[in-house]
Amino acid sequence: MRRSRPASAPTLLTLFAAFAHVSLTSFGGGMSGWMLREFVTHRRWLDEEEFLNALSISQALPGVNVANIAIWVGYRLMGFPGAVIGLLGIVAPGAVAVILIAGGFSMIAPYKLTPIVLMGAAAASIALSLTIGITAVRRVQRKVVPLFLMTATFVAVGILRWSTLWVMAILGAVSITVAYRDTGKDTPNG
């Protein structure tokens, strides 16, 4: 489902503010869920398909997924300056907050309530990750090969604990080949 874009495009300042907001209000693996909400649902700077493509690409590249998404989204919206702002916006505010929280955590660590609070934050983070996973699964083509590749990747990495690098290299290559082949069928000359 494509959403209409807002009349105003982001500025470097609003782009930084959006990434900083995500950086300061999300925890752990849930950042991609917050980014989906911020850039697709709330600001409508991207549609869901564009964001999920960014997520797919960022997970296949080396490095931190959230930083990769920030660079891709920033570049998509504002070119090279947007990529730099996206990276700074997602990393810098959170890094400062983590340093401050670590100082505070060292003071409250002895209390019995501290692990309970951390478990609650972890549960919320897992729920956000699950949300983005469900959103992505809804978008998978309802064809045998994409569903098989999605399931095989989940089983290989999530259950069998095989090397993510090798699974992505092999199944990613198969997936790209199949998608390329299928794209050729959709063209008039294919």
CA distance linking residue 113 with residue 121, whole number of Å:
13
- Of residues 104, 111, 117, 109, the one with CA closest to residue 27: 117
* Domain ranges (residues) in the chain: 12-139, 142-190
Query: pLDDT at position 82, please?
Result: 97
- Of residues 137, 132, 9, the one with CA closest to residue 76: 9
pLDDT tens per residue, the chain (190 residues)? 444 555 478 999 999 999 999 998 876 567 888 898 899 999 999 998 889 888 888 887 888 888 999 999 999 999 999 999 999 999 999 899 889 988 887 888 888 888 888 888 788 878 877 887 888 778 777 788 888 988 899 899 999 999 988 998 899 889 888 878 877 665 555 4
